Amino acid sequence: MSPSKDDSTTHFGYQTVKKEEKAGKVAEVFHSVAAKYDLMNDLMSMGIHRLWKRFTITLSGVRRGQQVLDIAGGTGDLARVFAREVGATGRVVLADINDSMLKVGRDKLIDGGYTLVEYVQANAECLPFPDNTFDIITIAFGLRNVTDKDAALRSMYRVLKPNGRLLILEFSKPIFDPLAKVYDAYSFSVLPAMGQLVTQDADSYRYLAESIRMHPDQQTLKQMMENAGFYQCDYHNLTGGIVALHRGYK
């Protein structure tokens, strides 16, 4: 992805918008889809997103008593498992910039008996936590929606403890051309139609497909993590590179 020549603009899907407008536009998307977000995740990925998230938990190495921050935590899939793993002596914070998503996640977790999770409405670019707070930070399917990804990575680095780890689960670039062609057809034909059918909102799912294409590829994101200060950065391609899990240490 080539950088925009105008530093005052950024990408919202395939559109070019002013940087200060992007957060509001992303917010509209997630306000619209929040109520049906879990259902659509299952339909869009045919349930495979649960395996991707399980792999993220495994690579996090989470242990009892640790402090975990799940950024763009949405409806709480990761936070729920982390809360179980860290136990009563640990701490799990579910953060999301979108209050509709945060409310859905909070209601879902409380209904499930997870009463110790903390909820914070926060922008990933300027996290409201002290330096060196968390043992583990995760962000699943959220980084591509952030306006200034470099600022967000620096913010995550700041609040991570020394030797802590960051895990980024995100859509990426398929590593096989035939898969890429099928994936494109699915993304731009099936997803918007599915979004219209389930949420009466094709445009939001068209944006999600476009935002995936505008997100940095595997190697570029790895380099961005290193530029932010992370070391021993690596990534695992999942489902042929449709999704990648990046990991880095402070």
Which residues fall in the annotated binding site for S-adenosyl-L-methionine?
A: 75, 96, 123-124
Contact between 114 and 80 (Cβ < 8 Å): yes
> Tokens 């879990």 correspond to what residue?
38
d(CA 67, CA 31): 28
Which residues fall in the annotated binding site?
A: 75, 96, 123-124
d(CA 250, CA 238): 24
Contact between 132 and 161 (Cβ < 8 Å): yes
d(CA 188, CA 91): 40
Q: Phi/psi at 70 (nearest 5 deg)? A: -110, 105
Distances from the Cα of 70 to the Cα of 48, 141, 201, angstroms: 20, 11, 27
d(CA 45, CA 37): 12
Separation of CA 202 from chain center: 21
